[in-house]
Chains A and B, each alone.
Chain A
């Protein structure tokens, strides 16, 4: 499949930068274009890791919740069982995987108050969240100086 997704995103980014951008003189449009070009760069570099990341994060979230099962209320454990019973298989569509991932993250968010009460579950939760930050496949560049406004520019770019 050539050009592959990365090549297509990179190509679009290059065309926007080299062909379109020099002709965009309106300050607002130019500022938006700069941000979009940066975001395309981030997508080109990180998109292929997204499915693997979603699977890892869903499994990690499930492990934290399963380990805390004795402390969770019945409603939450029942929902956890339901989500895990319907976990998508390995070759599922990425949107199906994303939905499964979102359901587990929602259960994790709901469980946070309980998970924080016990040292062990707290440690597992924070450990997973910190590992997730390290693995997150699409990065946001730290705020930098915006030469036009002097304000923070946090446009995604690599």
Chain B
């Protein structure tokens, strides 16, 4: 299982031009789309706690490390709390498959912190802080950061482009016909909203992708699905009814609170119909992620598999009023 230790040591030795010792290397169970290897790198009198995020042989999500590395480097020039990228092996020539090595950030991860054991006021404060960060991501001046050179601007047709992308992914990985998703895709095409503006979209924003130290967010993680698009896309993701347990606090942090907070923070106008449309897209995306994982499992490239997401299909049919 561990084929990364030696090449990782050689790579970092090359990068630092001095002998580097890799210690405490272990693969974490966190992250379904990348291999996450935690380790300590020692050179001279320095000891760094690092994480190597390597593309797996098979994944539930196929994304591009070049884009992720470019965005992390660009965002390091802003005041957004993002992981510190140390080294990138974009071709896989160093450790077998494309890999990013980052500092291990301070804090702990609790994807369900908003419905955890903390006092409700503390959780509400965290919600304001976490979704305030989403607003700040959407306010990033991506053009001045040069991100227009690595990310494609889909313009007003962002919604249709997203359907194109996820339908292409579905066709690429589906092991069998999926009439239910064909019905959903037809609805999405017929009802696609026009994007009001192009922003930096995180793509998988959730409490499980931030680290907390006490009641402070220290970093926003998992930028592998970052892209340019409609701000309603992230809003549809975080208000997806299927993910209510992660994003909502009953009565005090419902979707209307989250969306109002976002609107106040960004000064941008919300379109409720667009949010709903992106809710539907979010669940199509989840369904395709399951299909991607099952495709990789059958190909012996992934160790996890799931039963078909038929309950998700039922929710999707409800959401489109079928």
Contacts and interface: CB of A to CB of B under 8 A. Distances in A.
Contacts of B182: 109, 112-113
Contacts of A125: 179, 183
Interface stretch (B110-118, B155-163, B192-200): B110-118
B183 A149 contact: no
B309 interface: yes
Nearest to A113: B186
B29 A145 contact: no
Interface in B25-52: 26-32
Given A105-B176, A108-B177, A150 B109 contact: yes
A20 interface: no
What does DSSP make chain A's interface, helix, strand, loop or mixed? helix
A139 B309 CA distance: 8
Nearest to A122: B322
Given A31-B29, A126-B183, A149 B208 contact: yes
Contacts of A10: none
A136 interface: yes
A28 B29 CA distance: 4
Interface string B290-322: 100000000000011111111101100100001
Given A112-B183, A138-B307, A138-B308, A149 B111 contact: yes
B271 interface: no
A52 interface: no
A140 B26 contact: no
Interface string A75-89: 000000000000000
B179 A108 contact: yes
A72 B312 CA distance: 29
Contact of A149 (B30, B180, B310, B314): B30
A32 B1 CA distance: 13
Interface range on chain A (Cβ under 8 Å from partner): 35 or more
B310 A133 contact: yes
B310 A140 contact: yes
B249 to A, nearest CB: 15
Given A28-B27, A108-B177, A130-B317, A140 B307 contact: yes
B242 interface: yes
Contacts of B246: 152
Contact of A151 (B186, B208, B306): B208
A112 B208 contact: no
A154 interface: yes
A116 B183 contact: yes
Contacts of A149: 28-31, 109, 111, 208
Interface string B75-102: 0000000000000000000000000000
Interface in A89-137: 102, 105-106, 108-109, 112-113, 116, 125-126, 129-130, 132-133, 136
6 contacts: A102-B177, A143-B243, A152-B111, A152-B243, A155-B304, A155-B306
